[in-house]
Amino acid sequence: DAGVTQSPTHLIKTRGQQVTLRCSPKSGHDTVSWYQQALGQGPQFIFQYYEEEERQRGNFPDRFSGHQFPNYSSELNVNALLLGDSALYLCASSLGVAVGANVLTFGAGSRLTVL
Partner 1 sequence: GQSLEQPSEVTAVEGAIVQINCTYQTSGFYGLSWYQQHDGGAPTFLSYNGLDGLEETGRFSSFLSRSDSYGYLLLQELQMKDSASYFCAVRDQRSGNRDDKIIFGKGTRLHILP
Site residues, partner 1 (CB under 8 A): 4, 33, 35, 40-45, 48, 50, 55-56, 58, 90, 92, 97, 99, 102-109
The 3-class SS string of 8-56 reads: CCEEEECCCCCEEEEEECCCCCCEEEEEEECCCCCCEEEEEEECCEEEE
Q: Among residues 19 and 107, whose Cβ is nearest to partner 1?
A: 107
Q: How far is the CB of 60 from partner 1 (least distance, A)?
A: 12
3 state SS of 97: coil
**Residue number, 51 or 61, with CB nearest to partner 1:** 51
